[in-house]
Amino acid sequence: MRILFGVQGTGNGHISRSRELVRRLREDGHDISVIISGRKESELKEIEVFSPFRVLKGMTLVTYKGRMNYIETMFQLDLMRLMSDVLLLDTSGIDLVITDFEPVTSMVARMRNIPSMGFGHQYAFKYDIPIARGNVFEKYTLLNFAPARYNAGLHWSHFDQPIFPPVIPASLYDRAILPRVEGKILVYLPFEEVEDVTEFIAPFSGFDFFIYGKVTVAGDEGHMHYRTYSREGFLADLMESDGVVCNAGFELPGEALHLGKKLLLRPLDGQIEQESNALAMARLGFGMVMHALDREVLGEWLKRPCREPLNYSRTVDYIAEWIKNGRWEDLQKYTDAAWSEKPQPL
């Protein structure tokens, strides 16, 4: 099957899970072409696995100091460029479009009546799952930013809905490689300024904090260890950590839950998906939530023990089988199977 695969480039989580599904579909013999949008190519990391790929401007959500900036988001939107990319994209011979919240491929599929699948956490919101109260614009954007005909939604729990477990990187199924290091905390707050994160964690000298995000120069300052992005290094620090402090995105918390790490989430203000994730995390009892960089909450959370690993299944195997089957309305049996089977470590 010839598949056009769209990846939202604004978050490393989209790239991480799409990397796993693209790899699995190619193993099945599908011919995959990839479109990445939402970030400049120079800012994208470790995307060679997607080759052949093209990078388009698409649409980007702008943030500042942990809040959504809707005014700047509207100013940076180039509708003429977006429509030009859509109209000029060659889809000859394409049998299926898969979009991980990527708007160009979603629009192309609708305009040219090509079967399309939404793959990712955002597509779980089509179903009855926890969703935060937000304004009409926020909810409309979440559900209509990159819609598809069929939906492979992902979440940390199934909530009795036809959605899949999170997509976990293949390397995280062998947890024996790097044992846990007591007192090691992974901090990934990419929407916060580094100086604000430093001030936030500085008093807790009894722990070692490995800080990713807007770090431009790696280095160690006492119990604070600053790291520039490296997929291999990041996953190694995740495996060794006691716990994770991060924004309320989807992919990293899912990986932490899979490994049995305690979680402290700081949702991005004004971003309904992250606020909904924080709500779900609290309702499920899987972690703690703070709505600002709150030292009191951090101190309480640091005293908590690690949790038991959730051991999510190899989700991309079930999604790949669903795609191969061709009866895409028949989703429930694949989601049920993904939740009922637990993989053994490699």
Q: Which residue has the tokens 């939740």?
A: 339
Q: 315 φ, ψ to 5°?
A: -55, -40
Structure tokens at 212: 């990713």
* Residue 240 Cα to chain centre, angstroms: 20
Q: What span, in angstroms and rounded, lies between the C-alpha atoms of 291 and 297? A: 10
The CATH number assigned to the domain with range 170-302 reads: 3.40.50.2000
**Domain range list for the chain:** 2-167+313-340, 170-302
Specify the fold of 2-167+313-340.
Rossmann fold (3.40.50)
Peptide bond between residue 267 and the one before it cis (omega within 30 degrees of 0): no
Q: Is 211 in a helix, a strand, or coil?
A: strand
**Contacts (Cβ under 8 Å, ≥6 apart) of 137:** none
According to DSSP, the β-strands at 67-68 and 288-289 are: unpaired
126 contacts 144 by C-beta, under 8 angstroms: no
Q: Do domains 2-167+313-340 and 170-302 have the same CATH topology?
A: yes
Residue 299 CA to residue 176 CA, distance in Å, equals 29
Question: How many whole angstroms separate alpha carbon 54 and alpha carbon 157?
Answer: 34
CA 114/CA 244 separation, integer angstroms: 40
Could you tell me if 318 and 168 are in contact, meaning their C-beta atoms sit under 8 angstroms apart? no
User: One digit per residue, pLDDT tens: the chain, 346 residues?
Assistant: 999 999 998 878 899 999 999 999 999 999 999 999 988 878 887 788 899 999 998 766 666 555 555 556 665 666 788 888 899 999 999 999 999 999 999 999 999 999 999 999 999 999 999 999 876 777 887 888 899 999 999 999 999 999 999 999 988 886 556 889 999 999 999 989 999 999 999 999 999 999 999 999 999 999 999 999 888 899 999 999 999 999 999 999 999 999 999 999 999 888 899 999 999 999 999 999 999 999 999 999 999 999 899 999 999 999 999 999 999 999 999 999 999 976 544 3
Residues 58, 81: Cα–Cα separation, whole Å? 8
